[in-house]
């Protein structure tokens, strides 16, 4: 292992961009709008180039941060999430009158925390990264200070997030008490020596860590914050939160449980498989009853967290590669769906009810087509990327003997088709009752970002092999 600062270069690029955005806002004249978003794009591009330069190098910084291929793959996903989120944010910032500098700075610092969480190899560093990204997302959720819904959403998210952080920190303390270390390699070595007879302290440590991670990935029964936070936050923030936080949390989840806690697989898989089943069922069944598109996509996000848990529990080569492939697929698809919501919002009219989409196919055929692609991918229709991602997840479950989990996953996917197609039917088969223009014009950059997401969805759905091979090879570097 090469011990240097190289492993934190991608992270440093994003932090530098966040600081630059903060300084630019400080010197921005009141009557002018300095283009701050390009600073974030430059920082993310630097992180991408640094990640490519570090590929296969397995660089490490003081044994706390590891730029292995697994972490670099997740950083690549987060770079895509960041650029797409920045691209769709400008319309929302202008329409809502949000503080531009604060918004972009918080988003970049949140991305930095996510990248640190994906590459950290020590439980305390993972916790610090978790708090960095959480604080940024809490503030972004309530950044519309004059909105009671946003304030309530941020308060619920912060309060429940504080409880989950406490559980996670207790889990770290118990783990240290059992193993004498918080470093993942050392934890794995100690637990491997006592794998046949786990103590109550070891089981308690694992259970507390599960609670901490389950909250961040919106797993049932720790999902209560998700619908309110998704609905109350600006749609662009919801897009960022629903994809970036999930990618970072699952990256750490995989690194901790499939590496350090692998010797206790029999214990934690017994707990996680009913959690995965309940997450898929609750996310799907409750999602059917929603009339607000953002709340519907919130429950959709919960269900997709259940599918990712299935891949994690499977733990075979199919499942390990499927986790990263699914995260990439979900990221571009969900940001695309929320991006359409961002572009359809208007001042004083959120246009986030399912009934608001009536006649969209006539009023905005381009946006309607893009929304259809994103919804069909979320539902798992071929040849969309979502179909391939779910195929590999369920195949991994069957190969590992979790046939019932695969059956539940397939059935919930079928049920979820109802609430995805309901919006498609509303867009194309239900005429609008209004004759006035209900939707604003589409900015070019935001529209280009959505088109890019659609292209990636088709590419991953038709030619997934290369990316899936990269994902499988990448996740193999943490074992």
What residues contact residue 63 under an 8 Å CB cut-off, 6+ apart? Answer: 3, 121, 122, 183
Q: 435 pLDDT exceeds 50? A: no
DSSP secondary structure code for residue 69 in this structure: H
- Residue 372 domain flag: yes
> What's the pLDDT at 99?
85
Number of domains making up the chain: 1
In-domain check, residue 402: yes
Look at residue 168 in the predicted model and tell me its pLDDT: 94
Name 27's Cβ contacts closer than 8 Å, sequence gap at least 6: 34
Question: For 61-72, what is each residue's pLDDT tens digit?
Answer: 777 888 889 999
For residue 63, the number of C-alpha atoms closer than 13 Å in the C-beta half-sphere is 6
Domain span at residue 316?
6-478
Place of tokens 């994003």: 14
Position 1 in a domain: no
Alpha helices, DSSP H only, in 400-435?
Answer: 403-429
Determine what percent of the chain is predicted with pLDDT higher than 70. Answer: 95
**294-309 residue pLDDT tens:** 999 999 999 999 999 9
CA distance linking residue 100 with residue 142, whole number of Å = 14
Gyration radius (Cα) of the chain, Å = 21
- pLDDT number for residue 28: 73
What single string gives the DSSP state of each residue in 232-298? Answer: HS-HHHHHHIIIIIHHHHHHHHHHIIIIITGGGHHHHHHHHHHHHHHHHHHHHHHHHT--BHHHHHH
How far is CA 16 from its chain centroid? 23
Q: What is the C-alpha separation between 205 and 174, in angstroms, rounded? A: 5
Cα-based torsion angle of the residue sequence 214, 131, 58, 192 in order, rounded to the nearest 10 degrees: -50
Q: Is the pLDDT of residue 440 over 70?
A: no
Q: Residue 436 has what pLDDT?
A: 42
**SS3 at position 33:** coil
The tokens for 349 are: 């009219």
- The helix (run of H) or strand (run of E) holding residue 61 is strand 59-61
| 243-289 pLDDT tens trace | 999 999 999 999 999 888 888 888 889 999 999 999 999 999 999 98
Asked if the structure places residue 206 within a domain, the reply is: yes
- The angle formed by the CA atoms of residues 98, 102 and 103, to the nearest 5 degrees, is 60
Would you place residue 439 in the very low, low, confident or very high pLDDT band (cuts 50, 70, 90)?
Answer: low
pLDDT at res. 195 = 64
pLDDT above 60: residue 1 = no
Asked whether the predicted pLDDT for residue 35 surpasses 70, the reply is: yes
**pLDDT the model gives residue 210:** 94
Q: Which of 472, 479, 477 is nearest to 185 (CA)?
A: 479
Task: State the pLDDT at residue 2.
Answer: 46
pLDDT score for 132: 93
At 274-283, the pLDDT tens digits run 999 999 999 9
Residue 112 three-state SS: helix
350-359 average pLDDT score: 82
Residue 445 domain flag: yes
Q: What is the dihedral of CA 378, 383, 388, 389, to 10 degrees?
A: -20
> How far is CA 329 from each of CA 119, 243, 377, 464, rounded to the nearest angstrom?
20, 10, 9, 10
Residue 312 bridge partners (DSSP) = none
| pLDDT at residue 39 is higher than 50 | yes
- Is the pLDDT at 228 greater than 80, yes or no? yes
Mean pLDDT of 34-44: 88
CB count in 10 Å sphere of residue 391:
15
- Where residue 389 falls among pLDDT bands split at 50, 70, 90? very high
Q: Given a cut of 70, is residue 348 above it in pLDDT?
A: no
Residue 129 in this model has a pLDDT that exceeds 90: yes
pLDDT at 56: 85
> Whole-number mean pLDDT of the chain?
89
Tell whether the model's pLDDT for residue 79 goes beyond 60: yes
Q: Which residues pair with 349 in a beta bridge?
A: 346
Average pLDDT over residues 118-130: 93
Determine, yes or no, domain membership for 55.
yes
Q: What is the mean pLDDT of residues 25-50?
A: 84
Phi and psi for 67 in degrees, rounded to 5? -90, 55
Q: For the chain, how are helix, strand and coil distributed in percent, rounded to 5? A: 80, 5, 20
What's the rounded mean pLDDT across residues 417-425?
Answer: 91
Residue 100 maps to a domain: yes
Number of neighbouring beta carbons within 10 Å of residue 176: 15
């Amino acid at each position: 292992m090469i011990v240097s600062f190289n492993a934190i270069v991608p992270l440093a690029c994003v932090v530098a961009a966040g600081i630059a955005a903060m300084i630019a806002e400080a010197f921005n004249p009141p009557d002018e709008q300095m283009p701050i978003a390009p600073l974030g794009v430059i920082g993310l591009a630097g992180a991408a180039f640094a990640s490519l330069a570090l590929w296969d190098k397995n660089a490490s910084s003081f044994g706390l941060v590891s730029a292995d291929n697994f972490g670099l793959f997740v950083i690549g996903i987060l770079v895509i999430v960041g650029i797409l989120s920045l691209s769709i944010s400008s319309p929302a910032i202008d329409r809502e009158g949000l503080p531009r500098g604060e918004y972009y700075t918080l988003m970049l610092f949140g991305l930095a925390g996510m990248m640190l969480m994906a590459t950290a190899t020590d439980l305390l560093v993972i916790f610090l990264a978790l708090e960095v990204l959480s604080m940024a997302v809490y503030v972004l959720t309530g950044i519309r200070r004059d909105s009671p819904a946003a304030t309530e959403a941020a308060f619920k998210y912060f309060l429940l997030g504080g409880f989950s952080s406490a559980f996670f920190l207790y889990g770290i303390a118990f783990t240290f008490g059992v193993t004498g270390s918080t470093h993942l390699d050392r934890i794995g070595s100690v637990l491997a020596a006592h794998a046949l007879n786990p103590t109550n302290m070891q089981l308690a440590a694992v259970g507390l860590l599960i609670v901490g991670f389950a909250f961040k990935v919106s797993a049932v029964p720790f999902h209560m914050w998700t619908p309110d936070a998704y609905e109350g936050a600006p749609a662009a923030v919801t897009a960022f939160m629903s994809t970036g936080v999930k990618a970072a949390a699952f990256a750490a989840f995989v690194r901790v449980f499939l590496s350090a806690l692998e010797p206790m697989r029999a214990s934690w898989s017994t707990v996680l498989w009913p959690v995965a089943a309940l997450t898929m069922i609750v996310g799907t069944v409750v999602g059917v009853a929603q009339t607000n598109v953002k709340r519907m996509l919130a429950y959709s996000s919960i269900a997709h967290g259940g599918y990712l848990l299935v891949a994690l529990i499977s733990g075979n080569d199919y499942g390990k590669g499927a986790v990263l492939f699914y995260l990439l697929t979900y990221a571009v698809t969900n940001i695309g769906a929320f991006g359409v919501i961002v572009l359809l919002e208007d001042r004083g009219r959120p246009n986030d009810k399912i009934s608001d989409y009536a006649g969209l196919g006539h009023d905005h055929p381009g946006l309607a087509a893009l929304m259809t692609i994103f919804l069909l991918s979320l539902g798992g229709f071929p040849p969309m990327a979502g179909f391939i991602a779910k195929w590999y997840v369920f195949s991994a479950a069957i190969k590992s003997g979790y046939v019932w989990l695969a059956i539940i996953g397939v059935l919930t996917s079928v049920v979820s088709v109802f609430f995805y197609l309901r919006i498609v039917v509303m867009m194309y088969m239900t005429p609008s009752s209004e004759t006035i223009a209900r939707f604003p014009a589409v900015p070019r950059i935001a529209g280009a970002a959505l088109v890019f997401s659609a292209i990636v969805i088709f590419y991953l759905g038709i030619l997934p092999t290369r990316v899936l091979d990269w994902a499988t090879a990448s996740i193999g570097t943490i074992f």
